[in-house]
Amino acid sequence: MTEQRTGVRIRWPLPTHDYWSTPFAESLLQHLDLSPGTSILDIASGHGIPAFYLAEQVGPTGQVLAIDLSERQVESARAIQGEQLPWLRFECLDMRALPPRLPCFDRITGNLSVMFFRPNRFETVQGLVKHLKPGGQLVLTFPSLGTFDLLWRRIDQEMAVRGLLVERRQLEAHLAERPSAEDVRGWLDRLHLARIAVTEYPLDVATGAGQAFLHHSLLRGGFLDDVYECFEDRRLADEVMTRVSEDVGSFTPLIAQRCVLSGWNS
């Protein structure tokens, strides 16, 4: 994140160069009730999207605790922060097992967070709600079931042509494990949250063919890795994915479903 100077004041907008985290953060902010003086727990904070923006909005009378399991990400965010926004703290904590000493917050946010709740997603959300003040709001975003459907169909088709039954079952299991909008609404219902809203916004992810697809920074950073894990034979995985990469036109545009879930602790 690059801060922009206006006079002597440092601004912390959402970075325009991040084509994945920023669109999801924008959808999160559409649903977040935010005001100066608010206390926020931001989970899976990564390198600070949207923690820096949130901290600037709540101001010095507010508080933002941004947590991530990755020490590298936490150190990177602290380096970006420097001595700015002293009411913002980055800490290395596991959001799936928050310490009892942690206080309660007015808001709990998590951009692209739900994918990291595995294996016990509902229990993780339940643990988060325990740290939400009465009248507080929970807002989380994630790519929901249906994201990149055309791509998964094309990969399954290539596996079917080659008679790769085991790999197809593995791929099916990977996809079925991803939560849907209906799943997450069910979690909030079970926790008796009020004013529940679950909304999906489509996001077009651009990619080229061949190596541009296989080494796409977003796709290879997580989504395509799931496919490679379906194979025991790495050579065979490379053959299948190379063939798929040459047929990008059959599964583009790549559409991600930005899902936002919001609920209030009654």
84 neighbors 60 (Cβ within 8 angstroms):
no
| 89 and 63 in a common domain | yes
- 198 and 224 share one domain: no
Q: What is the pTM of this model?
A: 0.91
pLDDT along the chain (266 residues), means of 10: 44 91 96 97 96 97 97 96 96 95 97 90 96 98 95 98 97 92 97 98 96 92 89 97 97 96 96
Does a structural domain hold residue 93?
yes
Name the helix (H) or strand (E) containing 262: strand 254-264
| Claim to verify: residue 126 and residue 215 sit in the same structural domain | no
Contact 223, 155 (CB under 8 A): no
Whether residue 138 is found in the same domain as residue 113: yes
Residues 137 and 156 in one domain: no
Range of the domain at 125: 4-144+183-205+257-264
CB atoms under 10 Å from CB of 128, counted, come to: 22
Beta strands at 9-11 and 4-6: parallel, antiparallel or unpaired: antiparallel
Q: Map tokens 């996809």 to a residue.
A: 175
Does 229 lie in the same domain as 159? yes
- Any domain includes 66: yes
- Asked, for residue 36, whether it belongs to a domain, the answer is yes
Residue 43 is predicted with a pLDDT of 98
Q: Is residue 14 part of a domain?
A: yes
Give the SS3 label for residue 181.
helix
- Asked if residue 78 belongs to a domain, the reply is yes
**Residue 219 included in any domain:** yes
Q: Which residues pair with 261 in a beta bridge?
A: 140, 198
Beta-sheet pairing, 254-264 with 194-205: antiparallel
Contacts of 219-226 with C-beta under 8 Å, sequence gap 24+, read 219/254, 222/115, 223/147, 223/148, 223/151, 226/171, 226/174
Burial 52-62 (b: 16+ CB within 10 A, else e): bbbbbbbeeeb
Residue 10: predicted pLDDT: 59
